[in-house]
Structure 1
């Protein structure tokens, strides 16, 4: 089981595939398993490094001091340990914010960056959704109810055309042995609530693309597009029929964008 002992945590991570290294940073409430639909579409071309962020998955202890900046430092320590002097980064949602902070730590080491369903803007409604979900989760029978309440926020409308999709997703989530607890969820939410960026879009000088979903209810897309437009030479694309979980709703399309963009950016080794 791949682990990295840091000063206050043991960081779990997964490595798959072969080729130029891509560090994949998961979003809120998610761990390395959140890339399950996308990763198999990329492993023939890239080496994928997928850490479990603090308070998630098999990274312990769950209640270690947590912040977006600290998780970015963890990710950089992991790439140091694995010996990748230069690498690509893909970040989803909160992972996109982590990617930007990581660039601030080591701008010369990031070859290219892809940000998925994220926004460097304050989004009070998004935090209100998370607060409501946590309250539902802590109610009686909440472990099932909060997931059912979550899915309409993260998946595109097409997901719900077949009722079996919800039941399948629910069964998989409840069976997952490394699921984030309610207390760990609250811990991570406070880290996001307290986030204050040190890196602005205009500061990003590496090759950067941003992928949005047309059906994303958690990210204010107009504000996100405006903010990311400040990145020099940024490439922005909006994928149809994709919600906040863009890497699940539109995994083949996301994989195609990543392949083309990161292949063009070159092999950092």
Structure 2
């Protein structure tokens, strides 16, 4: 897929599927490939638009100035480029924060919003986990060790009932040619650490649903539910047997919720 030249980066993105446009915003450490389990379940229902956020994937240079707000502006520039006047949005984790910032840029253009495993709250433990993972990654043999340390934080307990799942995930991650480097990971971590929202939940006036993972260790669910309860007419759902990687642990359930919710919000074309 093509790249979009912006003032200081070349933004890589993927487009596939057919139907109303659905902008898919990846979370921390992730790029367009992070939607790999969910995209095939939605491609006959939506036109899927998946950018690589700054410091990830094939977006270059990795060390361009980065912030959550800037990544939201990149996403809006992409939708301008693709000539989608109105569109649906789904954001995972940090991508959920990006989606809220995106709404602030042009609320009249967001047809409906789905937020997955995210929270507009300060979570010191989550940042401590990422800092520890980065330190492990920079140690000898760290490229394997940090991934093994990451998986218990992001996948539901059921993932670990079969040891082959860890080995398969590790092999796929190590073989991925566009993996975020340790330096780029540190760069993006600072962007997340410095995030201060400009859009509050109460200001989200478009149809909004929030999906929580019952086994999510990275997002303080009670605080997330309380914060998101301020959204007018919000729909909040907790999916069982799903961790922070809710779109992998419960891809079928997430896809069903996205299809049903965004259908009721109407076709923006």
TM range (shorter): over 0.9
TM-score normalised by the chain length of structure 1: 1.00
Q: 1:95: which partner in 2?
A: 95
CA distances 1:53-111 after superposition (whole Å, capped 9, x unpaired): 00000000000000000000000000000000000000000000000000000000000
Q: What TM-score results when the alignment is normalised by the length of structure 2? A: 1.00
Cα-Cα RMSD: 0.3
Gaps of 5+ in 2: none
Per the TM alignment, residue 2 of structure 1 is displaced from its structure 2 partner at its CA by: 1.1
Distance 2:215 2:32 in 1: 24
> Which residue in 2 is equivalent to 1:18?
18
Return the offset for 1:232: 0.1
The aligned counterpart of 2:37 is 37
* 1:192 counterpart SS class: helix
Give secondary structure in 2 for the equivalent of 1:212.
strand
- The aligned runs of 1:115-154 (5 Å cut-off) are 115-154=115-154
1:263 correspondence with 2:269 = no
User: Aligned equivalents of 2:265 and 2:74: distance in 1?
Assistant: 24
Q: Distance in 1 between matches of 2:59 and 2:2?
A: 11
1:49 lines up with 2:49 in the alignment? yes
**Mapped partners of 2:188, 2:42: distance in 1:** 28
Secondary structure (helix, strand or coil) at the match of 1:261 reads: helix
1:160 counterpart = 2:173:
no
Deviation at 1:159, TM superposition (A): 0.1
Equivalent-residue separation in structure 1 for 2:30 and 2:183 (angstroms): 14
Deviations 1:110-162 (A, max 9, x none): 00000000000000000000000000000000000000000000000000000
**Helix, strand or coil at the partner of 1:57:** coil
Secondary structure of the residue aligned to 2:111 is strand
Unaligned runs of 5+ in 1: none
1:71 and 1:51 map into 2 onto residues whose CA distance is 10
Instruction: Show the counterpart of 1:196.
Output: 196
DSSP 3-state at the match of 1:13: strand
For residues 46 and 23 of structure 1, the distance between their equivalents in structure 2, rounded to whole angstroms, comes to 9
SS in 2 for 1:62: coil
- Equivalent pairs, count: 269
What secondary structure, in the 3-state scheme, does the structure 2 residue paired with 1:254 have?
Answer: helix
Q: 2:18, 2:262 → 1: CA distance? A: 14
Aligned to 1:250: 250
Equivalent residue, structure 2, for 1:76: 76
**In 1, Cα distance between equivalents of 2:238 and 2:140:** 39
